[in-house]
Amino acid sequence: MRPIKTRLLILLLLATTVVSGQKFESGYYIRSSGDTIPDHIFLRTKKSYILSVLSEKGQSFPATQLRGMGVNRIHYVVRTVSVDLSPRKGTLVDTVFLEVMARGKISLLSFIDQYDKSHYYIEREDGITEELGLKILDRGDGITFQQLDTYKQTLKEIFPSCTDIFPEIDKTRYNQNAIREVFDRLYQCRYGSLPAAETHKNIIINAGGILGFSSTDAEFTGNGSTAAMLMFDKSTDITGGVFVDFKFPRTGNAFSVRNELTHRKYKTTSADLYGNQGSTQLFGSVSASYIKYSLAPRIAFSHNKLRPFINFGVSPALLLSQTNKTTIIFSRGASQRMETLLGKVKKFELGFFGGAGLIYSNFSIEARVERSNGLQPELAETSPVNTLFILLSYRIFESNR
């Protein structure tokens, strides 16, 4: 097991090095004087909230010192706006970098605060910037919350003549895709053309470590197969590895694609089986060790302190090592011999899984059920493996790419 642990440590260190490194990218910033300065810049963030712009020359600019900036063909303007931080805090006034989602006679702007809540704004023709708010009220227990969709009424007030679209506003969810889609329709209703689209390329990357345990149930079927005659115990083992999550701007903050590289193993033995006269005993033993890749779309619900999520995915695995044997004892211990239980086995295992859990700050905990096709031995017809995982993840780094 020591080489496996060493490999996992190396993988975790590599993931840490790649994600944590500052990467200055071609962009610009606009000074308070109005001067546009082309430069290579890096965005200092707390989660997805932009704290300041760092130039390659070592200068750091908070939002209060700039009019705007851009990087990766994403444009930001600086505005002092009212920000609803419910349910964490109340409403406050802050000077922030707002991403330009659509630009026109009135513009659609957005940002994500330090608590990972999305905010959307309409900048009117008269220069007033108004939040399309989503107010989240704590019901008193710190766990359950009530949502007030104030953004729907605000949209109707900004576009009062577009009553035909009001039913669509009532159905609009509070995410980037839905808000942008209904804004485009309202803008076209009012001005007869679509607003200028802004190019989005930034991807949010989260990376960290995974640790947990697995409870594995292996079985074998096949006529005449010795393995199929035996009942194997459950195997409880430690599992762990690294993960990298990708969040895409167009799919909203609630959706992510999770990639995991983990090590899993199981070792199980059978109860004994007696012959007709009680003179023969059979004992089986099977163990397997894998390096496994898991790909899972994940959907998180709400922006509350505790965020439930579900995911599902596929998990191909490469067999690192395995043992299988059966011990046959004759005539109440008078003699015995050892044989291969399964014969030749496959090096590749394919599994499918689904899970649910909770996210709290940088931590998440998940219960996951996986079914895979197992070792696929030549001496048995099928060898399904059912596994329950309890996994604890910790996010170490987050980066905007």
Alpha carbon 288 to its chain centroid, in Å, reads 28
pLDDT tens digits for range 83-100: 999 888 889 999 999 999
Average pLDDT for the chain: 85
Burial class for 113, CB neighbours closer than 10 Å (0-12, 13-18, 19+): buried
- For the chain, helix (H) and strand (E) counts, in that order, are 5, 23
Residue 19 has pLDDT above 60, yes or no: no
Query: What is the CB-side half-sphere exposure of residue 31 using CA atoms within 13 A?
Result: 8
Residue 360 has pLDDT above 60, yes or no: yes
- CATH for 204-400 is 2.40.160.20
CB-based contacts of 152-156 (< 8 A; 24+ apart in sequence): 154/122, 154/130, 155/122, 155/182, 155/183, 155/186
Confidence of residue 250 (pLDDT cuts 50, 70, 90): low
Confidence of residue 179 (pLDDT cuts 50, 70, 90): very high
| Residue pointed to by tokens 């090590």 | 263
Residue 14 — very low, low, confident or very high, per pLDDT cuts 50/70/90? Answer: very low
Query: Burial of 329 by CB count in 10 Å (0-12 exposed, 13-18 middle, 19+ buried)?
Result: middle
Is the pLDDT score of 13 beyond 70? no
Lowest-pLDDT range of 168-172, 202-206, 286-290: 202-206
What are the pLDDT digits (tens) for 196-237?
Answer: 866 545 577 889 999 999 999 998 887 767 888 888 899 999
Q: Residue ranges per domain, the chain?
A: 73-197, 204-400
Whether the per-residue pLDDT at 109 is higher than 80: the answer is: yes
Q: Is the pLDDT of residue 123 over 70?
A: yes
User: Cα(first)–Cα(last) distance of the chain, in Å?
Assistant: 36
**Token pair of 202 as six digits:** 């930034």
Q: What whole-number distance in Å separates Cα of residue 102 and Cα of residue 183?
A: 9
pLDDT, tens digit, 9 for 90 and up, residues 361-401: 789 999 999 999 999 887 777 889 999 999 999 999 776 55
DSSP calls for 167-197? HHHHH--SSHHHHHHHHHHHHHHHHSSPPEE
Q: Are 119 and 200 in contact (CB under 8 A)?
A: no
- Supply the pLDDT for residue 204: 76
Assess whether pLDDT exceeds 60 at residue 276.
no
